[in-house]
Each structure stands twice: as structure tokens, then as C-alpha cells.
Structure 1
Amino acid sequence: MSSEQKKLGLLALTALVISSSIGSGIFGISTDMAESASPGAAIIAWIVVGLGVLMLCLSLINLINKRPDLSGILSYAEAGFGPFGGFISGWGYWLSAWLGNVAFATMMMSALAYFFPVFGNGNNLISIIVASVILWLMFFLVNRGVESAAALNTIITICKLVPLFAFIVIAIFSFKADVFTANFWGTLSGNFETKEVFSQIQNSMMVLMWVFVGIEGAAMMADRAESKSVAGKSTILGLVGLLFVYILISILPYGLMEREAIAELGQPAMGYLLASLVGPWGAAFVNIGLIISIFGCWLSWTMLPAETTLLMAKGNLLPKKFGELNEAKSPTFSLFFMTVLTQLFIFTLLFTDKAYNFAYSLCTAAIFVSWIFVTLYQAKYSFENREKKGEMLQFVIGVLGTIFYLWAIWASGIEYFLLCLTVYILGIFLYVKGRKEAGVEKVFSSKEYITIAFIVVGAAISIYMLATGQIAM
């Protein structure tokens, strides 16, 4: 590619945000939510999560505008908390992205099984082979050029939104208010009871946070945007679009059938719901949409982790090999490294029936690390510049965002967060190599050694929990 690379505009970046987030989760969110929460609790949960994600998006926009010299969300962690902080954030983001691809592979094979029964439950040998072929197809596509892949992603985003909006329209016209309000709070008394409702909200956190992974996509690709302001606008437009689609698709089903019936539907739940309204063609329509959706999201999440390791290598947080570009300006080694690890994890689908849930739980837990560093730096930067107009408001946004994501880690299952720490041990060795290549003699400070000790202890605890069955695979 020539030195004058084609930059990504508002439409392409907004599509990237939406496509990065709308993957497989939205097609199964009806059942996942019905298992965790009643209509009333689900609405409150969306308000809480919506505000929490808004704090993240506002922080990203503020930092993109105030620190245009920084690139990607990992750079905020490095600017605020040093090179090791940047590594922890970037490695968490990278881990989250390729684990998400494993979840996509599982669900895509399940969707294909609707048309081709040979795929079974999506985790047999033929499923592994086909998923592997698609995985390497993604590698070669992105390796030919990130910008051309993003252009294709815009088209895919438009295509996959069609079945989602079709479901929304049909569900609105079929909505029954008496069904929706029959068991509104899901409590024994039928009334609002704080403890029970809060428990439902907590139980739904992992589901809700999973569908927002990818919201930071425009910020990660800010260097390839037409301008930093375009990256900020894309983030807000993406959030508004996602909230509109997510809330309607997760709440409307409560007015179509009883909560218990929704919870017992197979996956993708949206297909079974639409089939109950319009006939068998509805399930086929949704499964086709799901396959297209996953393809687009898989494509986005092949670009994003490669971009992450590229930025980390440029910042001397990983070995220089990760920063090498081919003629199309794509980080071939970073892509290959990630694809091989994804391939190895895909093989585990042969040994578990819960690979999708396990993969997306790890994916969501890992991304919390990067998000917390964004809100922490937002609070730190704003406090350091508190004498300037509006900075104290930005400080409050950062603090609220940090509190929310710390709570989200606990509420959605801290065991998955601890399990992610095992992969950090591999990353630390690569980090040391990268720092040594940059000529840094003293790689860690005393405080950073404490952080490493926490990572090792947390990883050991998670391995023990996994071995004793306390973490379900």
C-alpha cells in the first residue's frame, strides 16, 4: 500500500464499533436474559449497564480529544501508569479479542447445523475443521490490508442488521402487554423486592457486558481514522445504535411468551421466537443473519487484536517482531501468533459442551482490565488538570466508570477474571523480552513486582478452582 493510506471515515468506524459488538450474543440474549432476570429487573439492568458503558465512552471521547498524541486504549494505561500498566491493558484487550473469536466459531457452527445437521451441536470434528478453515481465511483477508477488510466489514454490518430490525418490527406488532406484566418483577410476592431484584441484575451482568465488548473499536483504530474527532463521534453513534437494538431485542420477547418458556428455547433464541410468530422460515432467516453477523464480528476481532500487539510492539511493550508490517501495512507475525493460539483453543471444543459460554465469559472478564485503565486514566488526567474548566466533571465520570467496572468484575464472576491471569504469565515473559530489546535494564519497579505477585497468586487460585470444578468449562 502506498504511503498515503486510505483513512477510515465516520461510516466505516461506526460500522466497526457496531459490528465489533453485534456478534452472536444478541441472537441468544433473549434466553440468556430470561434465565437471569424478569422484565422489570432486565430494564433496570440495562439502565445500570447503559450508564456504565456511557462513562467508558465519554472517557474515551474526552481522552481522544485531550490526548490526540496517544494511540489506542492501551496508550492511556501507559501514559497514566507506566509501561507495565500499558502492557497489562493491552494484553487484556488482546486476550479478550481472540477469545471472542473462539466463541464466534462455536456459535457459527451451531447456526450452520440448522441447515446442515452434520455439524451436530457445533463442537464435533467437522465443526472444528470448518471453523479452522474460516479462522485462517480471516488471517489471509486481514493480512492483505486492514483498510480493505474494514470496507468489507461496513457492507457486512448493513446486511446483518436486516434480520435484527425485521425481528424488532414483527415483535412490536405481536407484543402483548398482559404477558409482559404478568410476572414483571419475578419475585415470590410479585412486588418489587430489593434483594431479589438486585440478585437478578447481578446474574445478568456477564450477559449484558458480553454484548458490549467491541465498543472501544473506534478508539483502537483512531490512528487509521480521518481525524481523532471522527473516532470520538463514531464511538457515541455506535453506543446509541447498540443500546437501541439491544434493549428492544432483549425486552420485547417478554411480551411474546412467558419468561419460563423463553428460558427454555434453544439457540439462537431469536430464531425460535420469530418462528413462533411467522412460521419456520423465521428460524432460517435468523440463522442466516447470525452467520453473517458472526462473520462480520469475527473479521473485526481479527483486526483489533493484531492492531493491539502492533501498538504494543511500537511502544516496546512486546518484542519488535510483533510490530513488523508487510507490504499491505498489516502486522503479519502478530496475526499469525494470534491465529495459532485461537486454533489451539478451538480444538478444546471437542472436549466440552460449554465452550461458547466459557469463551465469552473469559473474553468479557479480560476486557474489563482495559476498560478500567481507561476510566482510571480519565480520572487521573482530569484531576491533574482540575483547574481547567470542565475537568472536575470529567473526573467524576472517570471515578464513576471505575467504580462500575470494579463492581462488574465481581458481579459477573471474579473466577473468570482470575483465570485470565494465567495467560498474563506468558505475556510477562514477552514483555521482558520487548523491554530488553529496547535497552531497558531495570524492567520492573518494586510496585510492579507486587503486581506480578498478585497475577501469579490469582492465576494459581484460578487453576485450583478449575481443577476442583469450581469454574465450569
Structure 2
Amino acid sequence: MEEKKGLSLGALTAAVVTSSIGSGVFTLTSSLAGGAAPGPVLLAWLVVGFGIMMLALALNNLLLKQPESEGIQAYAQAGFGNFAGFVSGWGYWLSAWLGNVAFATVLMSSLGYFFPVFKGGQNVPSVILASIVSWILTYIVNRGVESAAAMNTIITICKLIPLFAFIVVGIFVFKGGIFTAHFWSNVASGVAGNASVTGQFRSCLMIMMWVFVGVEGASMLSSRAQDKNDAGKATIIGIISLLVIYVLASVLPYGYLSQNELAKINQPAMLYIFQDMVGKWGGAFIGIGLIIAILGSWLSWTMLPADTTMLMAEEKLLPASFGKKNKNGAPTFSLVLTAALIQAFLLVLLFSEEAYNFALSLCTAAIVVCYIFVGLYQIKFSLQNKDMKQLWIGIFAAGFQIIAIILAGLHFLMLVCIGYLPGIYFYYKAKKDYNLDGGKLTKSEILWSILIVAFAIISIVMVATGSIKI
């Protein structure tokens, strides 16, 4: 009897967990403590965990029932037309390279632990080194080098061992009295924060959604399952496992240091908290693992935006130049364009008060656009197939993303519209090159384009006048 090939339930679950954990978990505590006490943080984790679970189940359902779809933008295009596909795909592309900017900031902050000249991650030496790393990784990917299985294993170990060590030690040093002293009250001083539970809850949303960015990639692995029924189970178990890891990593320190102390710790917070727990070696232990993990993740995410625009070019949503490959099979134009934008954004970070939080907020806001389309298409697809269970999953998936971005800050979504300005031009050029709809934008596409441009202009004015701070 032939052995059944594919990933087992255990392997699928492990893939969901390891592919979703990135650098964000190492910065969680300080970012959350700046605006929320442990009570609102736990409440926010419960809500965000549920919303992400619904999104992952929707992705699994669509992938299993429409395995021919390539790329997350395919669902928006299939359900709502080419312009929706462009909006979703371009948003995913924006999110991918903005995520690299966040990687750069954390990497420089981690190096700052060993070399003080990089401390803080947003000074001139940090920008110079981050720029060099970005262009080197672009060169490597352009040469056709892909991340190997052995390298991914090393990166996974570098992420998980320090993380689990931190959690274990955190459990032993946890003090209930410190944890419950101000369970619902925001007592962090010197930071912008709302005293109400609702305000604290809102301050957590963007940070928590950021650490789940990439869960869509894990869901795509369901097509490689030995048993298709295992895909949904692995997603549920994997998301719950991620939630447990994130909750422990972010909440345990509230039982070791006060909220005020946690809010003032330098990033990456886990490095400095662990050093305080076990001594100088603890900071080095977390720091070395984090640096290796970020470099590996950054390499993977250098490929991701180029792959996204390449798929969009194949669907005639972008000009052919985005999909043109060099002799090594890499899309040079997409890679260089993306690297140039990362370079420009790294310079902007010199003038940002909270570079990391700003980059992660924009990255999350951009990908929320894609996630909303996934939820909406899940609703449409379920209605067409009269599947009430999947319909409710779609409603919850789309509803969570919409409500979360409204509560977390619509101004981030408005800022993302600036990134759509060149995209609209490229979309129009693609229609002209391929002579789609007579080489012109349709009436609805013109209206949506005008709306996006209007929001972009308003955002630029608000940044210039100081109404939106970066």
C-alpha cells in the first residue's frame, strides 16, 4: 500500500505556529504597557484571538474549495473585480515591505544592546547599516537564492528557544501582588494613554494584530495536508497555541515589573526584561537569537513583496515589467522598486518619535485591507453555496477587521492611501498596455480612485500641519 504523502496534523500545527511568530513577540510587553494595564490587555487578546481565528478559518475554507486561486489578492479579484484585486494585492505588497521597515528598527535596536552606537534603532548609524542590510538582501534574492529548509530550521530554533526560556523564567519570578496592583487602571506615566478600559483596549489592537500578520501564509499550508479535515483542526490548535504564547510572553512581565517600569523599557523589551530577570547573559541570549531570527525573516519578506507584484502582473493588474524575471528567475524591477521605497522610509524614521510602532501600524493597516476582502469574499462565496456556518465565519472575519481598524485608528488607513498613489498609476498603465476595458478606467474604478486620492491628499495635509504625528 502506497504511503500517503503530505503534512500530518502535528506538522501542520507546528507550521502555523512557527511561520506566524516573528520579531513582534519580542517587543510586545513594552508596546502594550505604554497604554494598557494587564486587565485590558487580556481582554484585547481574547477579542483579537477570536477575530484572527475567524480569518484563518475563512482562508482555509476558501483555499480548500478554490485551490486554483494564487495569492491573497485572488479572492478580492474573484469576488469583486479587477480593481478590488489590485487594491487587495497592492495593500499586501505595501504591508510586506513596511514590515521590513519594522524588522530593520528591531534589528538595529537589538544590535544596540551590543553596540551602543545603534541604541534606539532610529539614528543615522542605524539607518546606514539597515540600508546596507536591505540592499544586500535584495541583491541575494535577485541572484535567485531562496531560503532553504535548513536555514528555516535554524531561524525557528533561534526564535523559539529564547522565547520559551523567557516564558519559563517569567512564570518562576511572577508575583501576583504586582500583577493585580493596578489590574484595570492605566498607571504608566510619561506616555499617551487613556484611563478608561475602552481606551486601553483600543491602544492594544494594532500591536496585537501586528504579531498575527503572516497567519495567511500558514493557512496556505493546508493544501499540503495528508487529510484535508486536518487543515481546519491545525488552524484552530495553531491559533490557540499562538495566543497562549503571546499572552504569556506579554502578560507575565506585568507580574515582575510595574506597568510604568515596563512602558519605559527600551525595545526590544524582552531582551532587557530577561536581562533584569537572570543577569547580563540573559540579554545577550535573547539578543543573539533575535538578530539571527530577524535576518532570516527579513530575507523571506524580501521575496514576499516581489512575489506579490509578480502574481499581480500575471493577472494583468500591474504592467508586465513587474513580472519580468532575470536569468536567475527573480523579478528585478519589483525587487529594486521595493528596496528603494524601504530606503526612503528608513530616512523618514529619523524624524519619527516612535519609529517601530509607526512602521508596524502602517504595515497592519495595509494588510487589514486584504483581510477585509477575504472576509467579504467568504461571505459572498458562502451565500452562493448556502453554507450558513461558513457565512457566519465570514461575517465575523470581516466584521472584526473593520471594527478593529476603526477603533485602532483610521488615520493609519488614511496614511496607507498615500502608498496607493503610484499603484493607481501602474494599474491604469496595465489596463492601457493590455487594452483592458478599452485601455481606460471604468466609472466605478474612477470613483474609487478619486476617493483613495482624496484620502491620500487629506493625510498629507494632516501630516504637514501636525494633525497626524509620525
TM-score by length of structure 2 reads 0.89
Once residues 151 and 12 of structure 1 are traced to their aligned partners in structure 2, the CA distance between those partners, rounded to angstroms, is 16
What secondary structure does 1:68 align onto? coil
- Asked if 2 retains the 8 angstrom alpha-carbon contact of 1:19 and 1:297, the reply is no
User: Match of 2:433?
Assistant: 437
What secondary structure does 1:317 align onto? coil
User: Match of 2:417?
Assistant: 421
5 Å-filtered alignment, 1:355-374, equals: 355-374=355-374
- Asked if 2 retains the 8 angstrom alpha-carbon contact of 1:71 and 1:222, the reply is no
User: Match of 1:53?
Assistant: 52
User: Match of 2:258?
Assistant: 258
- Asked if 1 retains the 8 angstrom alpha-carbon contact of 2:108 and 2:130, the reply is yes
- Asked if 1 retains the 8 angstrom alpha-carbon contact of 2:16 and 2:238, the reply is yes
1:304-353 alpha-carbon deviations (Å, 9 max, x no partner): 21121111011000111111234544323222221121122222233334
Deviation at 1:442, TM superposition (A): 5.1
Once residues 357 and 8 of structure 1 are traced to their aligned partners in structure 2, the CA distance between those partners, rounded to angstroms, is 39
More displaced, 350-359 or 250-259?
350-359
* Gap change, CA 1:82 and 1:146, over 3 Å in 2: farther
**Percent sequence identity over matched residues?**
52
Deviation at 1:26, TM superposition (A): 1.3
More displaced, 201-210 or 50-59?
201-210
Once residues 262 and 113 of structure 2 are traced to their aligned partners in structure 1, the CA distance between those partners, rounded to angstroms, is 19
5 Å-filtered alignment, 1:363-402, equals: 363-386=363-386, 391-402=387-398
Once residues 214 and 464 of structure 1 are traced to their aligned partners in structure 2, the CA distance between those partners, rounded to angstroms, is 32
Task: Tell me whether 1:466 sits opposite 2:455 in the alignment.
Answer: no
- Asked if 2 retains the 8 angstrom alpha-carbon contact of 1:153 and 1:299, the reply is no
Once residues 254 and 95 of structure 1 are traced to their aligned partners in structure 2, the CA distance between those partners, rounded to angstroms, is 34
- Asked if 1 retains the 8 angstrom alpha-carbon contact of 2:376 and 2:394, the reply is yes
More displaced, 267-276 or 231-240?
231-240
User: Match of 2:34?
Assistant: 35
User: Match of 1:110?
Assistant: 109
Deviation at 1:19, TM superposition (A): 5.6
Once residues 18 and 366 of structure 1 are traced to their aligned partners in structure 2, the CA distance between those partners, rounded to angstroms, is 23
Number of residue-to-residue matches in the alignment:
456
Task: Tell me whether 1:84 sits opposite 2:80 in the alignment.
Answer: no
Once residues 221 and 306 of structure 2 are traced to their aligned partners in structure 1, the CA distance between those partners, rounded to angstroms, is 11
Gaps of at least 5 residues in structure 1 are 1-6, 189-194
User: Match of 2:243?
Assistant: 243
What secondary structure does 1:204 align onto? helix
User: Match of 2:203?
Assistant: 203
- Asked if 1 retains the 8 angstrom alpha-carbon contact of 2:158 and 2:290, the reply is no
More displaced, 278-287 or 396-405?
278-287
1:220-252 alpha-carbon deviations (Å, 9 max, x no partner): 6889x6899598777556534422221110111
What secondary structure does 1:429 align onto? helix
* Gap change, CA 1:355 and 1:303, over 3 Å in 2: same
* Gap change, CA 1:309 and 1:169, over 3 Å in 2: same
- Asked if 1 retains the 8 angstrom alpha-carbon contact of 2:142 and 2:335, the reply is yes
- Asked if 1 retains the 8 angstrom alpha-carbon contact of 2:120 and 2:267, the reply is no
Q: What code does the residue aligned with 2:151 have?
A: L
Once residues 442 and 425 of structure 2 are traced to their aligned partners in structure 1, the CA distance between those partners, rounded to angstroms, is 16
Deviation at 1:172, TM superposition (A): 0.9
Once residues 360 and 55 of structure 1 are traced to their aligned partners in structure 2, the CA distance between those partners, rounded to angstroms, is 22
* Gap change, CA 1:226 and 1:44, over 3 Å in 2: closer
Deviation at 1:438, TM superposition (A): 2.1
Q: What code does the residue aligned with 2:288 have?
A: I
- Asked if 2 retains the 8 angstrom alpha-carbon contact of 1:65 and 1:228, the reply is no
Task: Tell me whether 1:456 sits opposite 2:443 in the alignment.
Answer: no
- Asked if 1 retains the 8 angstrom alpha-carbon contact of 2:64 and 2:222, the reply is no
Once residues 335 and 222 of structure 2 are traced to their aligned partners in structure 1, the CA distance between those partners, rounded to angstroms, is 19
User: Match of 2:406?
Assistant: 410
Once residues 40 and 449 of structure 1 are traced to their aligned partners in structure 2, the CA distance between those partners, rounded to angstroms, is 46
Once residues 238 and 206 of structure 1 are traced to their aligned partners in structure 2, the CA distance between those partners, rounded to angstroms, is 21
What secondary structure does 2:34 align onto? helix
* Gap change, CA 1:135 and 1:59, over 3 Å in 2: same
What secondary structure does 2:196 align onto? helix
More displaced, 150-159 or 228-237?
228-237
What secondary structure does 2:396 align onto? helix
- Asked if 2 retains the 8 angstrom alpha-carbon contact of 1:21 and 1:213, the reply is yes
Deviation at 1:149, TM superposition (A): 4.5
Q: What code does the residue aligned with 1:136 have?
A: W
Once residues 331 and 42 of structure 2 are traced to their aligned partners in structure 1, the CA distance between those partners, rounded to angstroms, is 42
Deviation at 1:27, TM superposition (A): 1.3
Task: Tell me whether 1:101 sits opposite 2:100 in the alignment.
Answer: yes
Q: What code does the residue aligned with 1:450 have?
A: L
Q: What code does the residue aligned with 1:300 have?
A: S
Gaps of at least 5 residues in structure 2 are 188-194
* Gap change, CA 1:158 and 1:344, over 3 Å in 2: same
* Gap change, CA 1:135 and 1:399, over 3 Å in 2: same
More displaced, 325-334 or 157-166?
325-334
User: Match of 2:217?
Assistant: 217
* Gap change, CA 1:328 and 1:152, over 3 Å in 2: farther
- Asked if 2 retains the 8 angstrom alpha-carbon contact of 1:382 and 1:394, the reply is yes
Task: Tell me whether 1:270 sits opposite 2:266 in the alignment.
Answer: no
Q: What code does the residue aligned with 2:375 have?
A: T
What secondary structure does 1:271 align onto? helix
What secondary structure does 2:171 align onto? helix
What secondary structure does 1:154 align onto? helix
Once residues 70 and 228 of structure 1 are traced to their aligned partners in structure 2, the CA distance between those partners, rounded to angstroms, is 20
- Asked if 1 retains the 8 angstrom alpha-carbon contact of 2:376 and 2:398, the reply is yes
1:244-289 alpha-carbon deviations (Å, 9 max, x no partner): 2211101111111222222222222212221222112212222222
User: Match of 2:191?
Assistant: none
Deviation at 1:181, TM superposition (A): 1.8
1:424-463 alpha-carbon deviations (Å, 9 max, x no partner): 1110111111222222115433222221121011111111
- Asked if 2 retains the 8 angstrom alpha-carbon contact of 1:23 and 1:104, the reply is no
- Asked if 2 retains the 8 angstrom alpha-carbon contact of 1:146 and 1:303, the reply is no
